[in-house]
Structure 1
Amino acid sequence: MAVAACVVLLLVGLCAVLGPPLLGDLAREQHLRAVKLRPFSMDEGWEFVLGSDSLGRSVLARLVVAAGTTLSVAVPAVLLSLVVGSVWGMWAGFHRGWRESVSMRIADVILSFPSLLLAVVVLYVFDPSVANLVAVLAIARIPVYLRTARAESAELRGRLFADAARTFGTGNWAIVRRHVAPIVLPTLLTVAAVDFCFVMLTESSLSFLGIGIQPPDVSWGLMVAQGRAELQNAWWTAVFPGLAIILTTVAMTVLAGWARMAGDPAQRWRLTVPRKTRKGERP
């Protein structure tokens, strides 16, 4: 399953990187003689193998280009929230005191608002651009990493290796950088893999509601929104981008589960293939 998930994510990544420069013009071209072509037919060319929409645009080309747009929002948002939340959380958890209290109250305030509702309000007030979309999604997800890093670093603060480092005169930031961060990082990366699915679904939901990615740009959520009105006579314009969202989120979830087990010595045995026992031997 993990291998299949890696293949799916690699394919999505290649589409995101190579799709816009190779198929960007094709995704915007309108062919009025090829309106609402049904999928799985190459009578009009390979670009219409997944059909066309009401303006005669290739669904395949739009899917590939939309992968780049969707990932250009999800990846920076996750990376930004991961870096800020992790550094902030380790700083608060290792120093404790008022730093920890203030940080946790800020996290509680942000988490008191549903992420989707917060994004809807902010993007309604400001321009629904890609930069604003990345910023609001990153801010909404910072508390997830902040609380995780704070809990892990607060527990590691009292370990013997941290006390030994202080005895030898090592500063707090040096202890965090050299000893705490390498232990906390695998957990944070697993959280980031799962959070990537949430951010991508949130972006798709915002684009579906009309306050995310705006035309002429295209994303998977926007394609679902544009194809919703034609489900009865052109179902492929909404179904294929919906399948792309589902496959990507499932693949990332499977990979996150595999990474969690691989990084946990107590569960790593689940990844090993059991050997065939000889006749008469106990398994």
Structure 2
Amino acid sequence: MSEGATMTDPAADSADRPSGAAAAPPSTRPPRWWLLLGRDRAAAVAAVILAVVFLVALFGRLFIGDRAVRQDLRASLRPPSLDHGFYGLLGTDVLGRSVLARLVDAAGTTLSVAVPAVLCSLLIGSALGLWAGYHGGLRENVAMRVADVILSFPSLLIAVVVLYVFAPSAMNIVLILAIARVPVYLRTARAESAELRSRLFVDAARTFGTPSRNIIIRHILPIALPTLLTVATLDFCFVMLTESSLSFLGIGIQPPEVSWGLMVAQGRQYLQTAWWIAVLPGVAIVLTTVSATVLAAWVRLATDPAQRWRLTLPRKRRGDRAAVPSEMIA
């Protein structure tokens, strides 16, 4: 060994290394979604509220039985109190029916209209939009003109006219709202597909002879899906408010069925004497729509790799444009 060569002792080297330094390189694996959700208090609270609403809508009717329609005129217009048992917690209406039981029953009715309408419009509009945007040409022009024609009429106006002509029912409301909201997803999916069809990975798949259907499903849809889901979450709020408006006007859900909008309509004449009949279902509508809006904003950040780092920052530094990770700077 030459005289100028030096030998390094691994033990001495590890002793000189700072205690906070890691032996292995830091993992680049993104944090799991529930960890990101836990970092955002507003989104976590919104997720909990929506989960409670959906659980109540799915399983609440198994526990309340017929209490939503059971009448007791001796208990008419009782204020919210614990003195009359659990189902008297939120008071009673003019016929002595439990407002709590009716809220639970109405949650199932409202979501049974909003969720199928959003899912139908999402599936139909996204499929047509991705197909039209990928192929372009005449198919794209025809799809966009049809969407423009439907969007030229306000959704609420179309629903009012159709429900006045046909019998108001939950099925008719779902069909009308689903058709009226298809252009929203069609235009969004068409824009995503038209932008992605010129990408290098799409050209490579096309060069290797991959069928168009497989390219759309395997390569374009996964990238466009986060945007479509965000639009669907926001559209859920619009559809639920539209259903509540139709029920409030008397052309939506009809008695003996009950929805939150119908409860507001039935309790508006008792606002001065029994405010809880109309205010509590209105609060349920507001909480559900606001929670869905907050969660939609969080989902958009969580599913976007270029924006996900914002959710990993400490709460006091979120929104600070200067706090950009070094690896995001070119």
Q: What is the distance in 2 between the residues matched to 1:23 and 1:123?
A: 31
Match of 1:17 among 45, 50, 58: 58
Cα displacement string for residues 63-87 of structure 1 (whole angstroms, at most 9, x for unaligned residues): 0110000000000000000000000
Q: Which residue of structure 1 aligns with residue 20 of structure 2? A: none
Q: What is the distance in 1 between the residues matched to 2:218 and 2:59?
A: 38
Matches within 5 A, 1:7-156: 7-39=48-80, 41-156=81-196
Q: Which residue of structure 1 aligns with residue 312 of structure 2? A: 272
Matches within 5 A, 1:206-217: 206-217=246-257
1:196 is the counterpart of 2:218:
no
Cα displacement string for residues 40-75 of structure 1 (whole angstroms, at most 9, x for unaligned residues): x12221101100000000000000110000000000
**Which ranges of structure 2 fall in alignment gaps of 5 or more residues?**
1-41, 318-322, 324-330
Structure of greater Rg: 2
Matches within 5 A, 1:200-279: 200-274=240-314
Cα displacement string for residues 180-203 of structure 1 (whole angstroms, at most 9, x for unaligned residues): 111111110010001000000000
Per the TM alignment, residue 272 of structure 1 is displaced from its structure 2 partner at its CA by 1.5
Q: Is the 8 A contact 1:34 1:44 kept in 2?
A: no
Per the TM alignment, residue 255 of structure 1 is displaced from its structure 2 partner at its CA by 0.4
Normalised by the size of structure 1, how large is the TM-score?
0.95
Q: Is the 8 A contact 1:207 1:225 kept in 2?
A: yes
Query: Root-mean-square deviation (CA), in Å?
Result: 1.4
Aligned length: 277
Cα displacement string for residues 164-193 of structure 1 (whole angstroms, at most 9, x for unaligned residues): 111111111111011011111111001000
Helix, strand or coil: the match of 1:28?
A: coil
Q: What is the distance in 2 between the residues matched to 1:168 and 1:270?
A: 38
Query: 244-253 vs 17-26, which deviates more?
Result: 17-26
Per the TM alignment, residue 266 of structure 1 is displaced from its structure 2 partner at its CA by 2.6
In proportion to residue count, which structure has more helix?
A: 1
Q: 1:275 and 1:216, CA in 2 relative to 1: closer, same or farther beyond 3 A?
A: closer
Q: Which residue of structure 1 aligns with residue 214 of structure 2? A: 174
4+ runs deviating over 6 angstroms? none
Per the TM alignment, residue 275 of structure 1 is displaced from its structure 2 partner at its CA by 9.2
Per the TM alignment, residue 18 of structure 1 is displaced from its structure 2 partner at its CA by 1.1
